[in-house]
Every structure is written in C-alpha cells, then in structure tokens.
Structure 1
Amino acid sequence: MPDHVEQTRRLAGYGPGDAVECTPEGDGMQSQLHPADGKAVTITDVGDEWHVLVEEPGCVTVVRSFNIKQYAESYADGQRIRLQLDSVTRV
C-alpha cells in the first residue's frame, strides 16, 4: 500500500487489519468500517493531496486520492449521502 494511504489510515485511527474484503451491495461501490455506527466518511489532506476514506460494515476500507480539494469534498459528500450520514469527518 502506498505511504500516503498508510499515513491517511493512521490519521483516521485504522490499523492494517481493521477491514475485511467484501463484495459491496447496492450501487457497486466499496466502503469501509467505523467503530461508532459501522459507517463513516473521512477526508484529510496529506501534502498536496486530499484523501477520502469511505467506511461501511463488512467491507474493505476504500481510500480515494484527489489533487483538487473540491473534487475530494464532492466525492466525500456524495458518499455521505449514499451512506445516509449527517456529516463528513475532517482529520
């Protein structure tokens, strides 16, 4: 796994074995696992990149990287809506 992804996972509080690979249901997108209610969207900036972590119970953690902040925020907001969450966590 690339260093920036590992750094993002550490910032969000995830270890290497925190998620289980799965085949997602619904719209075919993969997501990740959050300790509070089982799902979360987290956005963080590392250097010149923005990373969005999407969590959903029973699925592998997905990290998407963006060079443009607005694209990352838009993707994060879309995932927040899809997962029916109230907010995106910023780290």
Structure 2
Amino acid sequence: MSKADLKTLVSEIQTNKAKAEALAEALTSEREIFGAYENSIEQLIAVQQAERESAQAVIKQLQRQLQRQLNAPALELYTGYNSEDRWEGGIRIVWRLN
C-alpha cells in the first residue's frame, strides 16, 4: 500500500469515526429530549386525571344535594272553594314520591 493510499484510508477512517460520534451524540440528545417530552406528557395526563376525578366528585355531590332538595317536603299555600262551596285556604305539606 502506498503512502498516499494509507493517508487516504486514515483520513476516511477519521471522517467516518467523527460522523459516527456525531450521530451517536445526536441520537443520545434526541433520546433525552424524547424522554423529557414523554415525562411531561405523563405529568399532563396525571394532572388531567386528577382534575377529572375532582370534577366528578363535585358533580356527584351536587347530584346528591339536588336529589335531597327534590325529595324534601314542600309547603304549599292553597285557597279556593271546597266541595261544599265554602271558601277555604291553608297550608299543606307535600311529599313527592319518586
């Protein structure tokens, strides 16, 4: 092998080695960036899940409260003529059966 061929070969080896190192660094950097992205997505999903659970708890509480109010007895005022054509009025308690 001539001296020129040897220099060319060494030069190509060094170039390829530099390219391989640059590629390895780029790959490592991309993996780190993807890992950070993946972690941020996982955190976002966890926060959204917590918010969803919190909202569902509030909705259930409001549903129970509304159901209690709907089932509560109500006072009604009434006036008018009865079956004997006499004027009557009063207050009555009304329970709703569901």
TM-score bin (small chain)? under 0.3
Structure-1-length-normalised TM-score: 0.19
More helix by share: 2
For CA contacts below 8 A with separation 6 or more, give which structure has more relative contact order: 1
More strand by share: 1
Computing the radius of gyration from Cα coordinates, the structure with the larger value is 2
